[in-house]
C-alpha cells in the first residue's frame, strides 16, 4: 500500500536529478564544449538524463536494503567516471576511452602530473554522493519505501527510452552521421552525453577486437593501390646523401614550433636550436599528428608512416601486430638499432612494442645511473641523460640508428632553480609560465649533447634529426597563450599551434628552410631515402620531404588537415593568408583524401593487415 511519505522513488529521483545537474555543470565549467545555437544547448542539457534514468531505474527491482546500497554504489561509480574525464581533460583536452583506461600501468610514473591536475575543490564532484549517503543514513521523514508494480517500472523505462531516442533524433538533425565520426570525441559527448559515449566506446572496443579475427589479405588490395598511386620517387640529389651514416633521432618532449626564434622576457627561448637551424634543413610547416598516445603515437608515426588510432595508444592496443618499421628495415641493411629513454622499460608498453618494431636494443632506466640529484619531474634530467647516453653510442656497432626520448620538458614543467637559464613567463597561468624555462633547459641539453658528439668523433659520421613529439600547451591554456602571442586563439590558430620543429642535420650540407606542409608520418620515407633505401614497396602514408612535386598536405588525427593555402578544422575551412573562414569548396577536394588515409591506416592496425603483406 502507498504511504503519504515520499516513496523510495524519490531517492531515485533525487539521485538522478543531482547527477544530471552535476553533469551539466561539469559540461559548462570543466569542458570546453563549443555551443553554436540553442538546439545544441538543449541537446547538451538533456543528454545525460536517459542514461541516468536507466541505470538508477534498475533499483526499482530491488528490495529496500539492496536498493539503497545499489543507489549509493552507482552514484559513486558514475561520479568517478565523470571526475576521471574532468582530470583527463584538464591536460589532454580530450575524453577518456577504454584503451586509455587499460594503460593504468603508466599511472605509477605519472606522479606530479596527476597531483598537479587535482585540487581540493574537486571534492564538489562528490557532493551529491555525500548528500545521498546522509539521506539514506538518517532517513528523514520524507523518505519511505514501497515496491513497484510492473506497470510502474515499465512506464519508468519507457520514459527513459523515449528521452534517449528524442536526444539521438535531435542530435542527428543537428549533426548527421554522428555515430560515424568516432574520431571526434567532443562532438559525441556534446550530442549523446559522456555516459552514453562511454557505452558507445565499449561497443567500438569490442568491434575492433573482432576486426582482426575477421580480417583477410584481400583488404590490403585497395590500400596498396592507394599507397602506390601516391608514392613519389626520391630526389636524386638527396637519395643516399647520408648513406652509411649513423642516425641520431631525438624526440623533443612537448616542443611546439612557436618557441623557435622567439623570446620571453627579452631572452631567446631556444638559442642553440636557432643556430643549429642555420646549418641544417629546417621544416617550419611540420605538424605532429598524435592522438591519445602522445609520445608513443609520435614514435609510431615516425617508425611506421602509419597514423595512430583515434582511441587509446597503438603501443598498448596493438603491440602484437606485424609491422614493417624503420628499425626492422635498417636491421636488414646492416644497422644496429636502439632506443634510449631513461624511464621504466614498460612505460607505454615500450618493452613489448619495440620488439614488434624490430629494435635490437632498448636502453632503459636500468642502463642509467639515476638518482635524486640528477632527476626532476618525470625522471632523469635531459643534460645528464644525453651525457650518459654518449657512452652507449660509443659502444654501439656502427652504423647505428638511435632514437632518444627526452623527459624534462614534460607537463607540469618542473625545474630546479639551478637548472633555470631564463625566468618564467608572467601570466596568470602557471603551466604556460613554466613551459618556457623547461624548453630552454632542453635546448641547453641539446647544445651540450651535440658538442659531446663532436668531442667524441661521432658528429661528422652521423645525421642528426630533431623533432617535436606533440603539443606541450593544450587548448585549456588559450587565454595565456593569446596573451603571449598577442592574438586570439581561434580554431585556425589552434591548428597552427600543432606545428612542431623538425631539423635534419646532414654533415657537409648547408642549412635551408623548407616550408612544405608536412607531418611526422613523412619521416620514415625521408630517413630511408637519405640512407639510400627506396620505399616504393612499403605501405607508407607519408612521402619523402625532399621529393620533387610534393603535395603540400598533412592530416591530423582528429580529421583536421592542412594544405598549402587552407586549414580545415571543426567543420570549417580557413584561408591561411587571413586566418578567416573561407568557402568550404576550397577544402572539399582534400576531404576525401584525408578521410581515406585515416580509414585505410585504421584498417591496417585493427585488422593487423601487414601480416598478409608478404603473401601478396
Q: Which residues are catalytic?
A: 295
DSSP strands (E only) in 120-228: none
CA angle 92–204–553, rounded 5-degree value: 55
The whole-angstrom separation of Cα 275 and Cα 594 is 35
Burial of 236 (0-12, 13-18, 19+ CB in 10 A): exposed
Residue with cell 624490430: 358
List the grid coordinates of 311.
Answer: 582511441
**Is residue 526 a contact partner of residue 502, using CB atoms and an 8 Å limit?**
no
Phi, psi (rounded to 5 degrees) for 563: -120, -170
How far is CA 3 from each of CA 62, 144, 146, rounded to the nearest angstrom?
18, 8, 8
Q: How many C-beta neighbours within 10 Å does residue 115 have? A: 10
- For residues 315 and 299, is the Cβ–Cβ distance under 8 A? yes
Which of helix, strand or coil describes residue 378? Answer: coil
Displacement of CA 438 from its chain's centroid (Å): 21
Residue 520: which of 231, 279, 236, 295 has the closest Cα? 295
CA distance 26 to 85: 10
**10 Å Cβ neighbour count for 537?**
13
Task: Render 143-183 in DSSP notation, one character per residue.
Answer: -------HHHHHHHHHHHHHHHHHHHHHHHHHSTTGGG-TT
Strands, E assignment, 511-598? 512-514, 518-519, 553-555, 561-563, 566-569, 572-575
The contacts of residue 180 (CB under 8 Å, 6+ apart) are none
d(CA 241, CA 122): 56
| Residue whose C-alpha is closest to residue 586's, from 600, 599, 574 | 574
46 vs 163: CA distance, rounded Å: 8
Q: How many whole angstroms separate alpha carbon 51 and alpha carbon 19?
A: 11
Strand partners, 503: 282, 466
Backbone phi and psi for residue 383, each to the nearest 5 degrees, phi listed first: -60, -45
Phi, psi of 233 (to 5 degrees): -65, 155
User: How far, CA to CA in Å, does 227 sit from each of 230, 407, 527, 540, 563?
Assistant: 5, 35, 18, 7, 19
Q: How far is residue 255 CA from its own chain's centroid?
A: 14
224, 432, 479, 569, 574 from 486: Cα distances, Å: 46, 14, 10, 22, 20
Phi-psi label, residue 93: left if phi above 0, alpha if psi -120 to 50, beta otherwise: left
**Residue 221, H or E segment:** helix 220-230
β-strand pairing of 379-380 with 246-252 = unpaired
Q: Would you call the peptide bond into 412 cis, given omega within 30 degrees of 0 as the criterion? A: yes
- DSSP β-bridge partners for residue 463: 247
Amino acid at each position: 500500500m502507498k504511504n503519504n511519505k515520499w516513496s523510495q522513488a524519490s531517492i531515485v529521483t533525487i539521485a538522478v536529478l543531482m547527477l544530471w545537474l552535476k553533469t551539466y555543470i561539469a559540461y559548462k565549467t570543466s569542458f570546453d564544449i563549443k555551443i553554436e545555437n540553442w538546439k545544441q544547448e538543449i541537446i547538451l542539457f538533456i543528454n545525460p538524463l536517459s542514461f541516468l534514468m536507466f541505470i538508477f531505474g534498475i533499483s526499482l527491482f530491488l528490495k529496500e536494503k539492496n536498493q539503497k546500497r545499489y543507489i549509493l554504489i552507482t552514484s559513486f561509480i558514475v561520479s568517478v567516471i565523470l571526475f576521471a574525464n574532468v582530470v583527463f581533460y584538464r591536460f589532454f583536452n580530450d575524453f577518456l576511452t577504454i584503451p586509455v583506461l587499460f594503460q593504468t600501468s603508466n599511472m605509477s610514473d605519472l606522479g606530479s602530473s596527476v597531483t598537479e591536475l587535482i585540487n581540493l575543490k574537486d571534492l564538489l564532484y562528490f557532493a551529491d554522493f555525500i548528500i545521498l549517503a546522509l539521506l539514506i543514513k538518517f532517513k528523514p521523514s520524507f523518505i519511505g519505501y514501497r515496491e513497484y508494480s510492473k506497470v510502474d517500472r515499465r512506464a519508468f523505462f519507457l520514459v527513459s527510452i523515449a528521452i534517449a531516442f528524442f536526444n539521438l533524433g535531435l542530435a542527428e538533425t543537428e549533426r548527421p552521421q554522428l555515430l560515424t565520426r568516432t574520431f571526434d570525441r567532443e562532438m559525441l559527448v556534446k550530442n549523446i552525453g559522456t555516459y552514453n559515449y562511454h557505452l558507445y566506446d565499449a561497443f567500438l572496443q569490442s568491434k575492433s577486437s573482432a576486426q582482426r579475427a575477421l580480417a583477410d589479405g584481400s583488404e590490403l588490395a585497395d590500400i596498396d593501390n592507394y599507397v602506390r598511386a601516391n608514392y613519389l620517387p626520391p630526389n636524386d640529389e638527396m637519395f643516399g646523401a647520408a648513406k652509411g651514416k649513423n642516425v641520431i633521432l631525438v624526440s623533443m618532449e612537448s616542443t611546439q614550433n612557436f618557441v623557435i626564434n622567439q623570446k620571453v622576457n627579452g631572452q631567446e627561448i631556444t638559442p642553440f636550436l636557432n643556430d643549429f637551424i642555420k646549418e641544417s634543413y629546417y621544416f617550419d610547416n611540420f605538424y605532429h599528428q598524435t592522438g591519445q598516445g602522445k609520445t608513443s603515437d609520435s614514435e609510431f608515426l615516425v617508425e611506421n608512416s602509419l597514423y595512430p588510432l583515434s582511441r587509446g595508444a597503438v603501443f598498448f592496443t596493438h603491440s602484437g601486430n606485424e609491422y614493417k618499421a624503420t628499425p626492422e628495415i635498417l636491421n636488414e641493411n646492416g644497422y644496429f638499432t636502439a632506443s634510449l629513454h631513461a624511464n621504466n622499460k614498460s612505460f607505454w608498453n615500450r618493452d613489448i612494442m619495440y620488439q614488434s618494431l624490430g629494435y635490437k636494443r632498448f636502453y632503459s632506466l636500468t642502463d642509467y645511473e639515476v638518482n635524486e640529484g640528477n632527476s626532476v619531474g618525470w625522471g632523469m634530467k635531459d643534460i645528464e641523460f644525453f651525457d650518459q647516453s654518449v657512452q652507449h653510442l660509443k659502444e654501439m656497432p656502427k652504423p647505428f640508428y638511435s632514437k632518444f626520448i627526452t623527459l624534462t620538458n614534460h607537463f607540469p614543467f618542473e625545474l630546479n632553480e639551478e637548472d633555470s637559464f631564463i625566468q618564467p613567463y608572467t601570466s596568470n597561468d602557471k603551466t604556460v609560465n613554466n613551459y618556457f624555462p623547461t624548453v630552454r633547459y632542453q635546448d641547453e641539453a641539446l647544445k651540450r649533447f651535440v658538442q659531446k658528439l663532436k668531442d667524441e668523433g661521432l658528429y661528422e659520421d652521423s645525421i642528426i634529426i630533431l623533432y617535436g613529439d606533440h603539443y606541450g600547451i593544450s587548448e585549456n591554456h588559450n587565454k595565456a597563450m593569446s596573451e603571449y602571442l598577442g592574438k586570439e586563439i581561434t580554431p585556425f590558430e589552434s591548428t597552427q599551434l600543432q606545428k612542431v620543429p623538425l631539423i635534419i642535420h646532414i654533415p657537409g650540407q648547408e642549412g635551408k628552410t623548407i616550408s612544405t606542409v608536412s607531418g611526422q608520418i613523412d619521416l620514415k620515407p625521408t630517413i630511408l631515402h637519405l640512407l639510400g633505401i627506396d620505399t616504393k614497396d612499403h605501405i607508407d602514408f607519408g612521402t619523402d620531404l625532399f621529393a620533387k612535386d610534393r603535395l603540400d598536405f598533412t592530416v591530423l588525427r582528429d580529421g583536421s588537415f592542412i594544405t598549402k593555402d587552407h586549414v580545415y578544422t571543426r567543420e570549417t575551412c580557413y584561408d591561411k593568408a587571413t586566418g578567416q573562414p573561407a568557402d568550404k569548396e576550397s577544402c572539399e577536394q582534400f576531404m576525401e583524401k584525408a578521410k581515406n588515409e585515416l580509414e585505410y591506416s585504421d584498417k591496417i592496425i585493427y585488422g593487423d593487415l601487414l601480416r598478409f603483406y608478404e603473401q601478396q
